[in-house]
Chains A and B, each alone.
Chain A
């Protein structure tokens, strides 16, 4: 291996880690909702898109840096999650998976088209100073906004993991995920748990939207660009497993980066969807999930 190859390999590693950070950021909310509510939220990408628009308008109208906008984005997304749960999800939470899928797909299309009507189909860009800053180390180069997104993804993962593991509310949420009926008999207000979980999940993806806005164009269907890969990450990491989502994101990103480099970009999706299918067939609880977790609450 010559110096040029070593440099190329180092760059691929850095790119995979940073891309994995972005995927983790987007997947955390999805895995939380999936794990506790057992609902596949097909509108997840659209909540990401709304977060991106929030960053865009805050930056364009008032010059607010996306990192500052994060302080407003998290509570606003949380509120939006509460409202969406009350208006839409609550009615289908005990319905069949088919009904839930149709509902969230419908919600996704509604949100896309609301954005289209409200803000047009234009591709918008957020260009804070840090989006153009390139850091160089050991022959590798990376974007500052991407590094920040990665760091926040790790912090958010650890925070959500700790919340779920060591707080009373977290324990209540996990208990509800394991057995909704038993939890109800134990006096847990499962409706409140679902509402809270959904709102936290939407707050997480809203924050993700703000953080990726400096890196990718903002437009009504921007969420579609990431949401498919998020489903792969969630299945790979194990349903509802925060650390699993982070590790799953890194694996998907590594497969994508290495696959693109060696076999061409057309192959990257083939490779990570093969991995997706293999996990579903041989280890349905995910690579890092607890065995049998996939059937909990089903």
Chain B
């Protein structure tokens, strides 16, 4: 009973915070509260890291306009995490030189493990908003929290979409589907792919015709793989790609007239990156990417406070970048807002008190930015069911939200994909 009262009180608090967010600006913050933000700002991941940081900055400004965190103006000490070694050393610098008690970041699954280990050694809270490495929350570290689902969640959603949305539209049962798995070989790609393979074959009995991993930085030609896949004749290609390999695979599949019924990806890189559309234009019509919501997202499907937050965030991103929020913006901002919710309730960055508040969070889907809710497990991982994800599709140079249909105003097209010259 006591627990229930506490949960109700917390929900009431969050709703009140949401109401404040929608109304007039909160009280002017007094003093500053500094957190560390760790992102890859140079090197091969800089493109995504900078976008992620931009999302943080936009949300920081929104938070400060509402009275900051714990009544103080939120400020960042930024660290550049190009690779795992630098991620750890920058985490140390932020803690020892900048004196931060909370670090957030880190975009990549390559980086979050090393950075959070460094934070753990200092007993500093590590609030991850983007990396999806399943191992992140499975190391028994009490200081780590992740607002985004992990890679197994991505795989779970992808197979859900394939089995329950695509298969009926192909007039096939899930166990009649022939599926080929192709993935870049980072922990991100492997995590998503292995989770999807397990669920596709174990739960739905899909027929796996191939499972292939590759190094995206050393793959300059997909033709041999495509030639082999053509012979295996899959219905669905489940392809987890980074940013350079997705356009290359798609272009070469077109050259080789490789016909499959659908291609499904997950994450903000590869088919989920705006660069895919820029590289291919209307030639890129058709692939699906599991992401945060994009154009076509039905705001009315959210709770009132979620709607207010979402609308204001979109406007702020539009004002700063001239475009709809991209995945990196949404992950960072959604995570940072949730951090504010926790800090305002905890009124402290003491790890144990902070953990206690996180453990009590119980927000239904639709409460927060991106239509998210929150319900954290003991290991600091937010739950798959609460972190609602969406399937977007490339339609004439734009990624649009098409699934779940109750959250979208636009419908998926080209199911199954027709010949390459008939996808306009």
Contact = CB atoms under 8 A, between A and B. Distances in A.
Interface in B236-262: 243-244, 247-248, 251, 254-257
B9 interface: no
B227 A269 contact: no
B218 A269 contact: yes
A40 interface: no
A277 interface: no
A143 B255 contact: yes
A210 to B, nearest CB: 17
A163 interface: no
A104 to B, nearest CB: 18
B50 A216 contact: no
Contact of A217 (B43, B215, B275, B283): B275
Given A113-B42, A266-B214, A11 B275 contact: no
B46 interface: yes
Interface residues on A, range: 35 or more
A143 B252 CA distance: 9
A216 B231 contact: no
B38 to A, nearest CB: 16
Given A4-B231, A228-B218, A123 B244 contact: yes
A258 interface: yes
Given A221-B43, A266-B185, A257 B221 contact: yes
Interface string B254-279: 11110000000000000001010011
Interface in A193-229: 216-217, 219-222, 224-226, 228-229
Contacts of A123: 47, 243-244, 273, 275, 279
A225 B220 contact: yes
Contacts of B283: 132
B223 A265 contact: no
A122 B47 contact: yes
B225 A260 contact: yes
B323 interface: no
B255 A142 contact: yes
Contacts of B279: 123, 125, 127, 217
A269 B218 CA distance: 8
Contacts of A222: 244
Nearest to A269: B218
Contacts of A107: none
Contacts of B43: 112, 221
Given A15-B224, A120-B47, A265 B213 contact: yes
B321 interface: no
A261 B227 contact: yes
A134 interface: yes
Query: Most chain-A CB neighbours within 10 Å: which of B227, B228, B280, B281?
Result: B227
A266 B224 CA distance: 12
Closest 5 A/B residue pairs (Cβ): A121-B47, A121-B46, A260-B224, A265-B214, A125-B279
Interface of A: 4, 8, 11-12, 15, 19, 22, 112-113, 116, 120-125, 127, 132, 134, 141-143, 216-217, 219-222, 224-226, 228-229, 253, 256-258, 260-261, 264-266, 269
Given A15-B221, A216-B220, 12 more contacts: A12-B224, A19-B220, A22-B220, A121-B49, A132-B251, A132-B283, A219-B44, A219-B244, A224-B44, A261-B225, A265-B225, A266-B185
